[in-house]
């Protein structure tokens, strides 16, 4: 009986979640629209059939478009959208930590015995590496974007480590295939796993603490991030609320917005597709630096 690859199953599930609008909040944080996300999934699958050879002397190196190039490009895009230097640096540090953890698993823990599970025959490497990268990426990055960046680039970093090792040891005929399994490669699975873990545990953490972290953030901004119904209880009678900016986005009361000295900046960022939850971090960090 033919078995579907785990990566294909994961992509199908993600596609359904996006199509039925169940991933809207996650995509907002990732700076992606539903159409863009579905387009990326299609590109991952099509790109799986395209492998680009990389000329590096006696070492046979290559990168798969679907399993390597597109995930890397997406991670770089998300990195460029980092709202603050702190988030940018945190994502890079998380990438290094994730790469080190996965490299340790591959070179030490999983080495010594034949595949699929190496020394510890409990879980297949195709599942262990994405799981390890996802968990490490979330713990080190703490946000959905940073988790995806760390997990994706962390796995790619392992291939870079392997390439450097081959060069240093003069391994003639060595092979390095970045994203060699295409859309079903560890790189893709690690990114999906990282976002899933960040969403589940991040949501759970917010619920346990009664909402997003508010310490050190402007009161006006926190008030603006509340649901419109909650804000209207604090306003005088007769205040007319603004219409919803987009379906599924947070509405902001006119009176609340008048109390926000950074209204124009917040609106300008939101018009570019940035959700108010992320604007909170950006503006707060900017204020602290002033």
pLDDT in tens, 211-263: 555 555 555 445 544 444 444 444 444 444 444 443 334 444 444 444 444 55
Q: Which of residues 208, 231, 249 is at a domain's end?
A: 208
Residue 247 lies in a domain: yes
Residue, of 187 and 255, whose pLDDT is higher? 187
**β pairing state of 59-64 and 175-178:** parallel
194 and 248 within one domain: no
Q: Most confidently modeled of 94-98, 156-160, 182-186? A: 94-98
Residue, of 277 and 2, whose pLDDT is higher? 277
Q: Which of residues 208, 238, 267 is at a domain's end?
A: 208
283 and 202 within one domain: no
Q: What gap in Å lies between CA 49 and CA 41, rounded to an integer?
A: 14
pLDDT (0 to 100) of residue 181: 64
The tally of domains found in the chain comes to 2
Q: What are 267-276's pLDDT values in tens digits? A: 665 555 555 5
Confidence of residue 93 (pLDDT cuts 50, 70, 90): very high
Q: Which of 2-11, 38-47, 79-88 has the lowest average pLDDT?
A: 2-11
pLDDT (0 to 100) of residue 124: 62
Chain center to CA of 274? 15
Please provide the size of the chain in residues. Answer: 290
Beta-ladder partners of 62:
53, 177
Report the pLDDT averaged over residues 176-193: 78
Residue 173 falls in which region: left (phi positive, over 0), alpha (psi -120 to 50) or beta = left
Report the pLDDT averaged over residues 111-121: 50
Contact 87, 79 (CB under 8 A): no
pLDDT (0 to 100) of residue 72: 92
Residue 214 lies in a domain: no
194 and 134 within one domain: yes
Residue 191 lies in a domain: yes
Question: Structural domain of residue 277, as residue ranges?
Answer: 219-289
35 and 167 within one domain: yes
In this structure, what are the phi and psi dihedrals at residue 61, rounded to the nearest 5 degrees?
A: -110, 145
Q: Which of 96-105, 134-143, 169-178 has the lowest average pLDDT?
A: 169-178
Query: Could you count the other beta carbons within 10 Å of the beta carbon of residue 79?
Result: 18
pTM over 0.75: no
Percent of the chain predicted with pLDDT > 70:
60
174 and 67 within one domain: yes
Contact 220, 259 (CB under 8 A): yes
pLDDT (0 to 100) of residue 210: 62
pLDDT (0 to 100) of residue 189: 85
Chain center to CA of 159? 20
Chain center to CA of 14? 14
Confidence of residue 169 (pLDDT cuts 50, 70, 90): confident
Mean residue pLDDT across the chain? 72
pLDDT of 105 over the 90 cut: no
180 and 41 within one domain: yes
Which residues lie below 8 Å from residue 4, measured CB to CB, with a gap of 6+?
A: none
Residue, of 283 and 260, whose pLDDT is higher? 283
End-to-end alpha carbon distance in the chain: 63
169 and 32 within one domain: yes
Q: Which two tokens stand for residue 191?
A: 């990114």
Residue 125 lies in a domain: yes
Residue 126 lies in a domain: yes
pLDDT (0 to 100) of residue 67: 86
Long-range CB contact pairs, 239-248, < 8 A, 24+ = 245/270, 248/21, 248/24, 248/25, 248/28
Q: What gap in Å lies between CA 257 and CA 271, rounded to an integer?
A: 15
Beta-ladder partners of 55:
60
Residue 1 lies in a domain: no
149 and 37 within one domain: yes
Residue 213 lies in a domain: no
Q: What gap in Å lies between CA 23 and CA 27, rounded to an integer?
A: 6
82 and 29 within one domain: yes
| 228 exposure class (CB count in 10 Å sphere: 0-12, 13-18, 19+) | middle
Contact 246, 34 (CB under 8 A): no
Residue 150 lies in a domain: yes
Q: Which of residues 148, 180, 208 is at a domain's end?
A: 208
152 and 86 within one domain: yes
243 and 201 within one domain: no
Q: What gap in Å lies between CA 117 and CA 86, rounded to an integer?
A: 37
Q: Where are the alpha helices (DSSP H) in 82-234?
A: 85-104, 125-141, 144-168, 186-208, 219-224, 228-232
Confidence of residue 117 (pLDDT cuts 50, 70, 90): very low
Chain center to CA of 197? 10
- H or E segment to which residue 61 belongs: strand 59-64
189 and 131 within one domain: yes
């Amino acid at each position: 009986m033919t078995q579907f690859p785990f990566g294909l199953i994961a992509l199908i599930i993600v596609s359904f979640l996006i199509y039925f609008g169940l991933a809207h909040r996650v995509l907002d944080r990732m700076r992606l629209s539903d159409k863009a996300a579905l387009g990326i999934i299609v590109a991952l699958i099509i790109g799986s059939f395209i492998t680009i050879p990389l000329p590096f002397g006696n070492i046979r190196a290559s990168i798969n478009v679907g399993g390597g190039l597109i995930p890397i490009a997406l991670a770089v895009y998300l990195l460029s959208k980092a709202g603050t230097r702190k988030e940018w640096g945190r994502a890079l540090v998380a990438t290094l930590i994730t790469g080190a953890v996965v490299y340790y698993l591959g070179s030490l823990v999983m080495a010594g015995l034949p595949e699929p599970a190496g020394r510890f025959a409990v879980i297949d490497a195709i599942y262990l590496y994405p799981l390890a990268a996802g968990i490490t990426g979330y713990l080190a990055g703490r946000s959905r974007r940073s988790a995806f960046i760390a997990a994706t680039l962390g796995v790619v970093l392992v291939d870079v480590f392997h390439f450097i090792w081959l060069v240093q040891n003069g391994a003639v005929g060595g092979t390095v295939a970045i994203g060699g399994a295409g859309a079903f490669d560890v790189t893709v699975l690690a990114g999906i796993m990282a976002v899933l873990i960040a969403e589940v545990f991040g949501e759970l953490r917010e619920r346990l603490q009664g909402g997003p972290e508010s310490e050190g953030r402007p009161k006006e901004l926190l008030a603006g991030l509340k649901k419109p119904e909650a804000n209207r209880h604090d306003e005088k009678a007769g205040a007319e609320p603004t219409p919803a900016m987009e379906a599924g986005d947070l509405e902001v009361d006119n009176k609340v917005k008048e109390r926000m000295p950074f209204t124009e900046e917040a609106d300008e960022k939101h018009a570019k597709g940035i959700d108010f939850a992320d604007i909170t971090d950006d503006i707060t960090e900017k204020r602290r630096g002033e």
